[in-house]
Amino acid sequence: MRNLFPSVALPLAAAVLAGLPASSVAQLPPKAAGAPAPQTAPPAKLLDEAAAAKLLAQLEEVNRSMEEKKYGYNSGIIRDLRDAGTSGDKAFGLWLDCMKLLEFEERGRSGADFSEWKRNQTKSANNERDASLQLQVQWLTVVVMEANARTPSARAEVVSSAVAYIDNLLAFMKKNDGKGVPGGDVIGSVFGRRYKLDVTVGRQEGGATRDPGDIGGIYESVIFPYYRENRMASSLMQAWTKRIAQETEAAAAPGFREAEEKFVAERLPRLRWGQMRELFALGQQETAAASMLAHIKTNMAHREAGNWIEELRNLLANDSKPAAAPAKAPAATVTPAAAETPAAPAETNGEVADPFGGIGEPEPAPEPTTEAEAPAAAKPAAPAAGGRPAPGNRPGPAFPAPDSRAQKR
């Protein structure tokens, strides 16, 4: 009979003659395939200058369109967040809605599961919970406002809201003995994730701090830059004095008293040095240098004393040159307090209104806090002539006071 399978029979016979089992034939390596034939690369098509310019123009148009969509989306979110931040009940209601979407609907969990979970939440006896959620919503509002701020008045509104927020943050902290502090990144919170703010706000270079408990970071990322850019020297020094007072007040709160001694010994001298360095940068070099020298003498045991000596030496050696921008003082994290919904501040003769009471023009800078003066909590000063509060003491647009129902439930 004619062999119909010569490609199998011959290797099989060879295997049998060699004393190998027939099954080993299946293990023989396949015949190697031939190398692919080389292909000719397509001819290069380089962009000429006109084509590249046309594509760049189209790209910029796409970018502008995308930024406008982000701006419009964020504007709607700001309205929602402002409303939710007016009371503890509304903040808690928004939190429930966010949890329902993120933790139940998107995970395929049933409505019955959510209802059972919600019953347990509403029965909670945690009185700080709703006020803490309210603060988280309020600071998230400021962060989104800052990302959307395009005009001087919009930036002034952000600063006013930040000033009011810090005041309320401290009030919350004192009332609750440092408990219920919202912290972390508000963009990554359940509220931020619900609105996908990581896409429309992102992590901008130089944007507002994301931590609602970071008083120092709020001053450094929102308040101080505004005054520096608008050359509001007096308001900038007022803000420094208020920051030192507020951080001192925060360190003395019941929930943080174990850290008060460390704050007074280590952080407070650094904050005072930062204020003096700011004063030097504003051109008040004679006053600032004398204060800095006295500060070093008083704090020779401080771990930064050697750096301060070197820094002052460099400043004095280069006093004929423009002073460098003041370095950031270290940020501090403290507890939050309930805040309120901001309204846009007015403008004065086309100039940017200062949330602390001044306007956007150079002002003489007051002297910094002296070593003999332990900073106390900021107190409203008497109104200036015409009934206008003194710079640094006019309240910004207030967030609504904490919802009493949220505190008493």
Q: What is the mean pLDDT of each run of 10 residues along the chain (409 residues)?
A: 50 51 56 76 88 95 94 95 93 95 94 91 75 95 95 94 94 83 91 95 79 94 95 94 93 72 92 96 94 97 96 87 51 38 44 57 53 42 35 38 45
8 is a domain residue? no
Q: What span, in angstroms and rounded, lies between the C-alpha atoms of 207 and 215? A: 15
**What pLDDT is stored for residue 23 in this prediction?**
54
Question: What is the pTM (predicted TM-score) of this model?
Answer: 0.71
The separation between the first and the last C-alpha atoms of the chain, rounded to the nearest angstrom, is 99
58 is a domain residue? no
Q: Indicate the residue type of 62.
A: V
**What pLDDT is stored for residue 339 in this prediction?**
37
**What pLDDT is stored for residue 20 in this prediction?**
52
> Which domain, by its residues, includes 176?
67-408
121 is a domain residue? yes
Name the residue among 65, 191, 216, 77 with its Cα closest to residue 137.
191
199 is a domain residue? yes
Q: What is the DSSP letter of 106?
A: T
Listed in sequence order, the residues at least 6 apart from 15 whose beta carbon sits closer than 8 Å to its beta carbon are 21, 22, 24, 25
Q: How many domains in the chain?
A: 1
**What pLDDT is stored for residue 353 in this prediction?**
55
32 is a domain residue? no
88 is a domain residue? yes
**What pLDDT is stored for residue 337 in this prediction?**
35
**What pLDDT is stored for residue 213 in this prediction?**
92
266 is a domain residue? yes
**What pLDDT is stored for residue 281 in this prediction?**
94
Q: What span, in angstroms and rounded, lies between the C-alpha atoms of 158 and 219? A: 12
Would you say 137 and 164 are in contact if contact means Cβ atoms under 8 Å apart? no
51 is a domain residue? no
